[in-house]
Structure formats: C-alpha cells, structure tokens
Amino acid sequence: MKITRVDVVRVPLALTEPYTIAYETVDSAENVFVRLVTDGPHVGLGCAGPDEGVTGETVDTCEAGIRAAAQRLVGEDPLRIARCLEAIQPLCVGAPAARAACDMALHDLLGKAAGLPVYRLLGGYRSSIATSITVYIGEPQAMAERARAFVSQGFTAIKLKGGRAVDEDLEALRLMRRAVGPGIGLRFDANQGWDLKQTRRFIAGAEALDLELLEQPLPRGHGPGLATITADSTVPIMADESLIGLSDAFRLARGSVVNMINIKLMKVGGLDSALAVNAVARAAGYDVMVGCMDESAIAIAAGLHFALARPNVLLADLDGHLDLLNDPAAGAVILRDGVLYPSEEPGFGVKDLETVFA
C-alpha cells in the first residue's frame, strides 16, 4: 500500500457558547483535517486542534506544517508508521498538533488495514472510561448549578476551571461540592493562573472539599515551584502546560515535580509520542489523565483509544467535542452516562469525511 495523495482542509467549528479560562475567552474553534488517500481501499483520517497558548501553533502554522508533512508522505507505505513519522518529524518542529493529525491518520489507516479498532491494536486494556466534563469560569453560583446539571446527565467527574482570585475559586469549589454531593469527583484546573503563595492558599482552603487533583497551578517553566508545592500538598498536583513532549516527561519524572500528568495528543504530537510519554510516566509511578483541546470527535476518538490501551491512564478529560455545533465527525465516540465508549469499527470508526473533503 502507498499513499498517493494527502488532502488538508481547515474547518471552522462553532461553539454552543463562549467560555472563559484563566488566560483567555474563547468563542470559536478551528480544526485542520487531514486525509491520507492510498492506492488501496482505505483512507486514513486525522485532525489537529491547535492552541497557540499550549502547542505554540496558530491554525495557519499548523496547516502549513501538515501540508509540508503531506508532501513528504506521498509515496510512503502508511503501515510503516515509525518510518513515516520519522520522515515528517523535521517538518513538524514546533508544530505538535500538525504531527498529531498525521499520526492519527496513519493509525487510522493501520486499524482499517488490520480490520481492528486502534485501541485493540495498541493494547486494548479496557473498553470504556469515564470522562470529566468542564465547568468554565463564571459566577460561582452559576458554576455550581451547571455542575449539578451535568451530574443529572450522568457525569461522575467535574473539572472546574479557575486560576483567578483564590477566594472566588474557593467559593465556586465550595458551592459546587455542596451542589453535587460527596460522591462526585471534583478536579480543579488553574491554567497557570497563580503564584506560589496563591497556590498554597487554595490548597489550604480546599482540604475539606475532597478534591481529586489540582492541575497546573503555576506557569510553565516554574518547575522548582511546582516541586515545592507537590512536596507539601495534600492534593495531588498534575502537570499540563508544563508537559509538551518527551523531554518534559523526563524532566518532571526525574525531579519528582508533580504527582500526575495530563497527556494531550495535540501537545505531544500524536499517539506514537503519547505512548512514549506514558511509558516514562509509568516508570516514574505517575498516574495519567488524557486530555484534549477544542477538537472534533475524531481527534477525541484518538485520545480515547490511547486511554483505553494503557493501564496507568486512569483518568479522562475528553469533552472538547461536546460543545461543537457542526462537527463533521460527530459520532466517532459514544457517550453514555458520563462514560466514553469507542466505535468497534476498524481504525477510529469514521469511514470517510466526504463533506469535509468534497
């Protein structure tokens, strides 16, 4: 089998409503879709959801990275994934979401050629995983009510966005715990919003609220500060923006900087890189959460298949597709009562995206 053509298309994706995190308000998203066309019966599909604040890419630079990689992939055997990824690596430096899209399409093709869903090819440790759902920054009482509504829909884990004034964040967390009761997992993501003093104040105030984890309280690059917080904290500390690639995973593990890490395919460059980062995490004794950006369901499916394949990927935060109004790959994952299930069709379960590549 040979790749004969690579199609690349940008797709604006409308959100149900704008949302706010510590450093920005988002009112729309744009993904870049890629299709690997072969001389055989199958096509491989992938998607990039770049975020300049996290991956360092704009949609323009991400698209340019995918197009450069696409030219290099034409004529290659897509089943030789390691060879293909090594070939495009120099073209995707500083563009991990671009690499992730190509990596997804290659894995999708492998699954279709094998007649198996990707998670089974990668290890098939489990067949479903619960996901958290995000409550974004707003008025504390409204945030608590939104969390209550999500619980009524069957979700058992809520991720609360913060990183603003500590007192407001704690008030939102208290109201949320009161609204959802003791049996619901609460996770807090500060998105690099605090300094050391603020982080300590938050942890002290949250001690009685049974918080599952605190994600990225300090800015990326504050490794010594994160290590200090982790050593003293009664709440598990998770790295997100501090982990972009494999070298970051080594650094975090070597210094015992955090307790947990958040692996996002867009940050690390796809499934191949995610498996390498996860191996470092497992060697260090770190639990892993798989996360996402604002991504089409086919990219969410790739993250899900990764989560299902490895035993130490214990948590999922794969809700980035739920607020997209015009997702062309809707249905690539199945959500029931807060639990995500993969399609059992070959690859990631999407045969083609004719409406995108028409």
Per the annotation, the verdict on 161 as an active-site residue is yes
Please indicate whether residue 351 is annotated as part of the active site.
no
Respond yes or no: is residue 240 known to be catalytic: yes
For the chain, the residue count is: 358
Catalytic position from the list 63, 76, 108, 240 = 240
Catalytic residue among 103, 169, 189, 294: 189
Q: Is 145 a catalytic residue?
A: no
- C-alpha span between 237 and 233 (Å, rounded): 8
From the candidates 57, 169, 215, 317, which is the catalytic residue? 215
Is 2 designated active site? no
Catalytic-labelled residue, pool 112, 159, 161, 267: 161
Q: List b or e across 220-236, with b for residues whose CB sees 16 or more CB atoms inside 10 angstroms.
A: bebbebbbbbbeebebb
Q: Choosing from 57, 264, 267, 327, which is the catalytic residue?
A: 264
Residues designated as active site: 161, 189, 215, 240, 264
